[in-house]
């Protein structure tokens, strides 16, 4: 068993770490750099993205022939962790959701024509994208088989889409959309995936949903389809392969959340230790108190468990496995660890932790979505229980 990183992955990780410290943390510390939704303003983002490209650090997860660096999930894990030392990090490297997952799936399953038209502009950073799946009740949420949005074939190799979606991240800024719609009542093969462009008629943003946390660029939107027409050449994979596409996309997309959240959890600890080492009370430095040390030790080992779960899942995904158990375990654990890390860091910082003088309150509000997005923790536990019911003690194995 070898836990070492390959030299090129380690070199990239170190370069990302230095870039975040030198260029991104100063922007994060400057409140004037924030937009009205608590994200980095688009002008400052454009400057940083240009610097990332000039430094040769852009899009590590994409193949070299498309303009990326060609790392697989094992290479992405340590790099994404470094990027999200800053709340603004991943988007500067073109490694933020949902573009990241959308690029991944288009690269995996797109035809050469689809890659050229739909994928390449996202890789280049000239457009943003969205993934359109979830519907308000009684439509599909945790259970995709409840989807109500329909795509029906019309003449001339075209499809017509009607329905309602919500919580579509980035919809107000996106140009390229991946849409999941129902094409038959078959429980396994009833969904199909399509691409559409923001300028196509037949859809509209009903509202940008107000949320508790800071927002991605383009917000989280409710969107309605009324006779959106899509050409059949913009169908992804075969008719009925929508669920399969979602599973391929979500395996890696969920895990990249874990990679990034580990970075935020580590940053929370960093802010906690920095304060604990300089703050004294009752004649004792906070960091010399056993209660505080127990808090820090607790977080340190939970973050390491998260890193191990994430790296094992990354390694399986890179080998072509769906890694469903591994991704679910990582997602549950890292989401909980992120909550605990930022909550503890706020506690150690006292009133300062509750202020906007550090990014802790930002991370705290953001963290609440981690147990919901890309599968609520309860759904991942249900998946694990199903595996356990089938496999019993063989649930835990090593490959040979």
Ligand X SMILES: Cc1cc2nc3c(=O)[nH]c(=O)nc-3n(C[C@H](O)[C@H](O)[C@H](O)COP(=O)(O)OP(=O)(O)OC[C@H]3O[C@@H](n4cnc5c(N)ncnc54)[C@H](O)[C@@H]3O)c2cc1C
Positions that interact with ligand X (CB under 6 A)? 98, 131-134, 141-142, 167-169, 220, 369, 372-374, 376, 378-379, 382
Q: Looking at beta carbons only, is 48 or 174 nearer to ligand X?
A: 174
**Closest separation in Å from C-beta 153 to ligand X:** 23
CB of 60 to ligand X, least distance (A): 22
CA-to-CA dists, residue 61 to 37, 94, 118, 187, 362, angstroms: 27, 9, 17, 33, 27
What is the enclosing helix (H) or strand (E) of 91?
Answer: helix 89-92
Helix (H) or strand (E) segment spanning residue 379:
helix 377-391
Least distance (Å) from ligand X to the CB of residue 319? 27
Q: Read out DSSP for 317-360? A: HHTT---HHHHHHHHHHHHHHHHHHHHHHHHHHTHHHHSSSSTH
* Sequential DSSP letters for 172-206: TT-SEEEEEEE-SS-TTT-EEEEEEETTSSSEEEE
The least CB distance from residue 229 to ligand X, in Å, is 21
Q: Which residue is nearest to ligand X, using beta carbons? A: 141
Q: Output the six-digit token pair for 96.
A: 């933020």
Give the residue with the Cβ less far from ligand X, 273 or 376: 376
> Quick one: DSSP state of residue 97?
T
Residue 116 DSSP symbol: I
**Among residues 168 and 346, whose Cβ is nearest to ligand X?**
168
DSSP letter (8 states) at residue 5:
P
- Structure token digits, residue 206: 């009903």
Closer to ligand X at the Cβ: 148 or 318?
148
Query: At its nearest, how many Å lie between ligand X and the CB of residue 183?
Result: 17
In the bound state with ligand X, the residue whose beta carbon lies nearer, of 295 and 367, is 367
**Minimum CB distance to ligand X smaller for 219 or for 359:** 219
CA distance 236 to 232: 9
Task: Say if strands 129-132 and 176-182 run parallel, antiparallel, or are unpaired.
Answer: parallel
């Amino acid at each position: 068993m070898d836990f070492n990183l390959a030299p090129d992955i380690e070199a990239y990780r170190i370069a990302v770490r230095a870039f975040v410290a030198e260029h991104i943390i100063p922007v994060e510390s400057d409140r004037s750099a924030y937009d009205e939704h608590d994200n980095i303003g688009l002008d400052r983002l454009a400057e940083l993205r240009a610097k990332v490209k000039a430094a040769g650090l852009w899009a590590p997860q994409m193949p070299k022939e498309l303009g990326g660096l060609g790392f697989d999930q094992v290479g992405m894990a340590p790099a994404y962790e470094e990027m999200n030392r800053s709340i603004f990090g991943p988007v500067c490297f073109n490694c933020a959701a949902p573009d990241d997952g959308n690029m991944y799936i288009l690269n995996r399953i797109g035809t050469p024509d689809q890659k050229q038209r739909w994928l390449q502009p996202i890789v280049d950073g000239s457009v943003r994208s969205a993934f359109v799946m979830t519907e308000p009740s009684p439509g599909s949420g945790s259970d995709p088989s409840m989807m109500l949005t329909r795509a029906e074939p019309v003449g001339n190799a075209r499809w017509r889409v009607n329905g309602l979606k919500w919580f579509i991240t980035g919809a107000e800024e996106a140009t390229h959309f991946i849409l999941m719609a129902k094409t038959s009542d078959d429980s396994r093969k009833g969904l199909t995936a399509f691409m559409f462009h923001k300028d196509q008629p037949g859809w509209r943003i009903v509202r940008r949903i107000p949320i508790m946390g800071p927002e991605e660029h383009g917000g989280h939107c409710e969107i309605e389809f009324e006779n959106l027409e899509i050409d059949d050449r913009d169908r992804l994979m075969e008719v009925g392969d929508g669920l399969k596409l979602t599973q391929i996309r979500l395996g890696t997309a969920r895990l990249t959340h874990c990679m990034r959240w580990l970075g935020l959890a580590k940053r929370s600890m960093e802010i906690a230790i920095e304060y604990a080492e300089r703050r004294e009370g009752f004649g004792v430095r906070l960091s010399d108190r056993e209660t505080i040390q127990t808090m820090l030790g607790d977080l340190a080992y939970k973050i390491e468990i998260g890193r191990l779960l994430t790296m094992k899942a990354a390694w399986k995904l890179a080998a072509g496995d769906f890694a469903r158990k591994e991704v679910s375990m990582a997602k549950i654990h890292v989401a909980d660890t992120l909550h605990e890390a930022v909550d503890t860091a706020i506690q150690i910082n006292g009133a300062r932790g509750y202020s906007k003088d550090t990014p802790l309150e930002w991370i705290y509000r953001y963290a609440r979505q981690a147990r919901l997005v890309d599968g609520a923790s309860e759904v991942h536990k249900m998946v694990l229980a199903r595996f356990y019911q089938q496999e019993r003690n063989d649930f835990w194995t090593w490959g040979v």
